[in-house]
Amino acid sequence: MSITVRAPAKINLHLGVGAAREDGFHPLVTVYHAISLYDDVTAVAAEAWSTPVDGAAYVDLASVPAGEDNIAVRAGQLLAQRHGLSRRAALSTYKSIPVAGGMAGGSADAAAALVALDRLWGTGTPDDQLLALASRLGSDVPFALLGGTALGTGRGEIVEPWEDNGAWWWVVVPSEVGLSTPAVYRHWDALFPDAPAEPPPAHRLVGALKTGEPLRLAAALHNDLEAAAIDLRPDLGALIEKGQAEGALRGLVSGSGPTCVFLCAGAEEARAVAAGLAAEHPVVLTAHGPVAGAHVLPDA
Ligand code: ATP
């Protein structure tokens, strides 16, 4: 028996960052948004953990760690421990989410593994307990379970669904070279040593998401980490300008980058912006959101 679970990439419509806490984490007020770019994890019972990985040509599969360094295995171990089981599994992953792109691909795999193994093992873990396990695995893992559009607080792990009446179209441009999330936060600390403890709120987004109007959303998008990411990688600033010149309503760095995302007026406009950027960038994707969180796929 095998169970396949699909989990989405996230982008941040709002990423407000506060000064680092004593435990080293930065408090966040973020609005997560799940887009139609997915990783699929297939779980099969096995004697030992294994993580065969395959994926789209643009995904740097060589940088996905194997075995117990893979976050999907850590998710499986945590679920087994929670239920007092000594089971293991093969977790085969097909990745379409760029690695180290600021789109939480590893978190998607962890969420998918939790849902797949819970089904495979028949452990029937209640949703609130799955969310609690997810938050121990990483800040973005609970959102990968939830999907849609959601407010994230704490270090991003406390999630609450938000009303979103839009059907938003995005152009996504991954970078050939990754950007380390801790390095971006360190640079943000250096750039803004007097940042307030309280992250800026996301009030403007509430109305924009309710109306479903792309121009309203474009005006409300916000990423506190963008300045730090562009300072480390000035090419990202040039890419954002180019995408906007090609007709995107707004471009911004996704999370800590280096992936950049462009909000477009609709599907046709997204295809036109993608075509304009494709001349200079080897990988340009289009996606829509919001989409569902980790969910079991029907048998093929
Ligand atoms: P974050 O913002 O949380 O750093 P990201 O979206 O930028 O994440 P991910 O693709 O989630 O990047 O990967 C971050 C790192 O996590 C990788 O460089 C890799 O070393 C490690 N990792 C562990 N498990 C996985 C996995 N299943 N898929 C991808 N990366 C993984």
pLDDT score recorded for residue 176: 82
Ligand 1 neighbour 70 (Cβ under 6 A)? yes
Confidence band, pLDDT 50/70/90 cuts, at residue 178? confident
Catalytic residue among 40, 118, 140, 224, which?
140
Instruction: Give, using CA atoms, the residue closest to atom 18 of ligand 1.
Output: 100
Domain boundaries, the chain: 2-162, 168-289
pLDDT score recorded for residue 299: 81
pLDDT score recorded for residue 91: 98
Task: State the average pLDDT over residues 146-168.
Answer: 95
pLDDT at 300 over 80: no
Q: Where are the beta strands (DSSP E) in 248-289?
A: 250-253, 260-264, 285-289
Per the listing, tokens 């999330």 go with 181
Instruction: Give, using CA atoms, the residue closest to atom 12 of ligand 1.
Output: 100
What is the share, in percent, of the chain residues with pLDDT greater than 90? 91
What is the share, in percent, of the chain residues with pLDDT greater than 70? 100
Position in ligand 1 atom list of the atom nearest CA 72: 27
Confidence band, pLDDT 50/70/90 cuts, at residue 84? very high
Residues in the chain: 300
pLDDT score recorded for residue 184: 95
pLDDT score recorded for residue 215: 97
Position in ligand 1 atom list of the atom nearest CA 138: 3
Tens digits of residue pLDDT in 3-55: 999 999 999 999 999 999 888 889 999 999 999 999 999 999 999 999 999 99
Distance (Å) from CA 105 to ligand 1 centroid: 6
Mean pLDDT taken over the chain? 95
pLDDT score recorded for residue 275: 97
Residue from 5, 15, 71, 179 whose mutation best tests the ligand 1 pocket (most atoms within 8 A of CB): 71
Distance (Å) from CA 211 to ligand 1 centroid: 34
Tens digits of residue pLDDT in 99-126: 888 899 999 999 999 999 999 999 999 9
Instruction: Give, using CA atoms, the residue closest to atom 27 of ligand 1.
Output: 106
Task: State the average pLDDT over residues 214-239.
Answer: 97
Tens digits of residue pLDDT in 44-56: 999 999 999 999 9
The CATH class of 168-289 is alpha beta
Distance (Å) from CA 125 to ligand 1 centroid: 25
pLDDT at 63 over 90: yes
Are 239 and 281 a contacting pair, CB within 8 Å?
Answer: yes
- 194 a catalytic residue: no
Compare 67 and 272 and report the one with higher pLDDT.
272
Q: Does domain 2-162 have CATH number 3.30.230.10?
A: yes
pLDDT at 177 over 90: no
DSSP 8-state class, residue 68:
G
pLDDT at 75 over 90: yes
HEC readout, 176-205: CCCCCHHHHHHHHHHHCCCCCCCCCCCHHH
Task: State the average pLDDT over residues 237-244.
Answer: 98
- 95 a catalytic residue: no
CA end-to-end distance (rounded Å), the chain: 12
Check residue 245 and give left, alpha or beta (phi > 0: left; psi -120 to 50: alpha): alpha
Ligand 1 neighbour 140 (Cβ under 6 A)? yes
Distance (Å) from CA 106 to ligand 1 centroid: 4
pLDDT score recorded for residue 268: 98
